[in-house]
Structure 1
Amino acid sequence: MKSMSVRWAKPVAVLAAIGIVASCSLPKVGPNKREIFAGSVQKEGDAFIVAVNDRVTRATAVVPALGFSSGFQNASTLTSDTIRPGDVLGLTVWENVDDGLLAGEATNSTILEEVQVDSAGFIFVPYAGRIRASGNTPEQLREMITAKLEDQTPDPQVQVRRLAGDGSTVSLVGAVGAQGIYPIERPTRTLGTMLAQAGGVTIQPDIAQVTVIRGNQQGQIWFQDLFDNPQLDIALRGGDRILVEEDTRSFTALGATNAQARVPFETQDLSALEAIAQVGGLISIASDPTGVFIFRNEPAEVAGQVLGRDDLQGAQRMVYVLNLTQPNGLFVARDFVIRDEDTLYVTEAPYAQWTKTISLISGGLTPLANLQTIAGS
């Protein structure tokens, strides 16, 4: 009888130790599923906890829409013949007399090189005066100068040449091949062609955003959308400022994942499945695939669709639950859209806590020493 007591003493002690350890607060990466659900509105908490299904993925599939306003889209493409402030013109005037107004005695023609259009759009021509050049073509300007001179010299012949102009330029900065100031020329009248002229973008096209600032207007578009859909391209105007920068959206990954960090988006549309993959996936011996949570402040209109309510006001704290072990779980995770500032949290599997308990008991110290250490903590 005594031998039986001795034989069972050690297993009983181990089980008692396990019980004591289990009752203590073991180290963990964060709250478990039970603790998260305890904070739900249904249990007088302050967050709505929703199991993700196909209906929820459709209601929450909100992605940032970038595109240009009608003011940008309706602007016509500048022609190479249109004269604008800052342009430099070349003028030649022939007079049908030996000693004309402008020509000397030995020649009947006068060349006026590098006549610059001023900021108000005017040029000055001797004997013709100040003439508005901006907004006209070289042919229209030729007719205007001819009309001004024909009253003072017989049958004047005028030629107008449009040279390079520094008024019809745009500036490109940011993640482009060559930052700088570029003239709007025949091959580079649109945003897409101007970006190509500058060497294209130097960051991953999927996350490149292009911003155009024109006066007090501003428009933004995804570079990939601009490349894939030529109809979204816009005509440029002198003075446009073009900025190419990387997408600044990010999400935070915490819990039982292979990386806990603030993670930038790698694509325009990021799914929960892709977000998990970005941080190295789940940990096979520690992660609970039934406890993948997305924490988000959801706009009232979206939260109302998810919850089937119309009485919500302001942003709502929402916790979306993904169960990757369900037959449709991976498909749902693939379709659920991650948004800027989301928090992806994966709970630990119960097995992980059990492993920690066993490791504490069966470590290098004796069971008694372990219990004393735990009791003193």
Structure 2
Amino acid sequence: MKITGSRGAKALALVALVSAVGACGLPRSGPNKAEIFKGSVLKQGDAFIVTVNSRVTRATAVTPALGFSSAFRNAGVVGSDVISPGDVLGLTIYENVKDDPLLGNTGQRVSALTEIQVDGAGYIFVPYAGKIKAAGQSPDGLRNIITKKLDTQTPDPQISVQRLAGDGSTVSVSGFAGANGVFPIERPTRTLSAMLSKAGGVTIEPAVAIVRVTRGGKTGSIWLEDLYSNPALDIALRPGDKITVEKDTRSFVAMGATGSQTKVPFETQTLSAIEALATVGGLNTGTADPTGVFVFRNEPAEVANAVLGRRDLKGDQRMVYVLDLTQPTGMFEARDFLIRDGDTVYVTEAPFVQWQKTLSAISGSTNAANNIATTGQ
């Protein structure tokens, strides 16, 4: 009976010691499942804790809304030879006279007027023809106008109009493009994709490239991959357009019992929970609890109401989404649940890990005490 009592006393002492050591706050990667659930609104906390299922996945599947407005999409392709203010023109005039030409010297039938710049109001000046509105005309249309002006002064004039490179019909390209600068809108570069090709493409991964176009006071942006896969997004350019290639700035934070704890940039347009975990090396096989994968997020009221089946929530709501990878559909739910910008993906430690740490601490303390006692003898 004494032996049994002695063993019972030792067991009680061990439990008490384990509890005492555990209460001291052993090192760990973050809160456990019980502590997270204590923050639920059901327990006077301030976060809604929701188990992920197919309905929740559909309600939270919100991706960045990128695209061009109808004003961008419906704009027709500008004629490659349409003259604009700032353009430089070259005129060649052939006169059907030899002795007394209107523009040239005696015996000179051909007169060349080079580098005639279209002024800010869209006009040019041609000797004997006067001031002529050139902007908005094609070279052929301007040729007809000049011909009519000169026809009354020299018999049957023949005129050639050439649109040279100028400052009128140009766009600027900047950001992560192959070449930054000002490029003319020419016949091969009248659309967005063609102009990007002219500028040398992009210098970042296409999956994270965003193309922004500013026209006047309006701006539209699209994913580069969408531009190449959807011809409707290959908008026609207009003089003065500003094209900027930007890098996706979205990111999420991985913490807890994962392969690494870090801030991770998005590498694709959409990122699932299972992909996010894979990006940081998956679950730590020695410490992770696959039943405790959490996603912390501030959710807009409209999404939070849809997830919770409510209508009364206002403003951003703190939401904690729970994924249990051990459930029959757990891996599928993690595959379909989308991670968003600013999310925190947290994996709890398995319960036995804290016990291991506690026992190790006790063992270490006992060994240290024994060493001290041995040294003192």
- Superposition TM-score, scaled by structure 2 size: 0.92
Q: Which residue of 1 aligns with 2:262?
A: 261
Residue pairs, 1:201-350, within 5 angstroms: 201-350=202-351
CA separation of 1:39 and 1:12: change in aligned 2, threshold 3 A: closer
State yes or no: 1:32 paired with 2:28.
no
Residue pairs, 1:42-53, within 5 angstroms: 42-53=42-53
3-state DSSP class of the match of 1:72? helix
3-state DSSP class of the match of 2:165? strand
Whether the 8 Å CA contact 1:361–1:367 is kept in 2: the answer is no
Structure 2 segments unaligned to the other structure (5+ residues): 372-377
Q: CA deviation at 1:45?
A: 1.3
Whether the 8 Å CA contact 2:73–2:232 is kept in 1: the answer is no
Q: Which residue of 2 aligns with 1:179?
A: 180
CA distance in 1, matches of 2:210, 2:77: 22
3-state DSSP class of the match of 2:148? helix
Aligned residues, how many? 370
CA distance in 1, matches of 2:46, 2:224: 40
3-state DSSP class of the match of 1:363? helix
Following superposition, which runs of at least 4 residues in structure 1 exceed 4 angstroms of deviation?
A: 1-13, 367-370
CA distance in 1, matches of 2:41, 2:16: 37
3-state DSSP class of the match of 1:187? helix
Q: Which residue of 1 aligns with 2:122?
A: 121
CA distance in 2, matches of 1:224, 1:310: 37
CA distance in 1, matches of 2:351, 2:6: 32
State yes or no: 1:142 paired with 2:117.
no
Q: Which deviates more from structure 2 when the two are superposed, residues 134-143 or residues 144-153?
A: 144-153
Letter of the 1:60 counterpart: T
**Amino-acid identity (%):** 64
Q: Which deviates more from structure 2 when the two are superposed, residues 113-122 or residues 314-323?
A: 113-122
CA distance in 2, matches of 1:174, 1:246: 9
CA separation of 1:207 and 1:20: change in aligned 2, threshold 3 A: same
3-state DSSP class of the match of 2:179? coil
CA distance in 1, matches of 2:63, 2:2: 72
Q: CA deviation at 1:356?
A: 0.6
Q: Which residue of 1 aligns with 2:167?
A: 166
Q: Which residue of 2 aligns with 1:72?
A: 72
Q: Which residue of 1 aligns with 2:375?
A: none
CA distance in 2, matches of 1:159, 1:272: 65
CA distance in 2, matches of 1:367, 1:329: 45
Q: Which residue of 2 aligns with 1:193?
A: 194
Q: Which deviates more from structure 2 when the two are superposed, residues 249-258 or residues 51-60?
A: 249-258
Q: Which deviates more from structure 2 when the two are superposed, residues 18-27 or residues 319-328?
A: 18-27
CA distance in 2, matches of 1:56, 1:306: 6
3-state DSSP class of the match of 2:364? coil
Q: CA deviation at 1:2?
A: 6.8
Q: CA deviation at 1:211?
A: 0.7
CA distance in 1, matches of 2:202, 2:231: 17
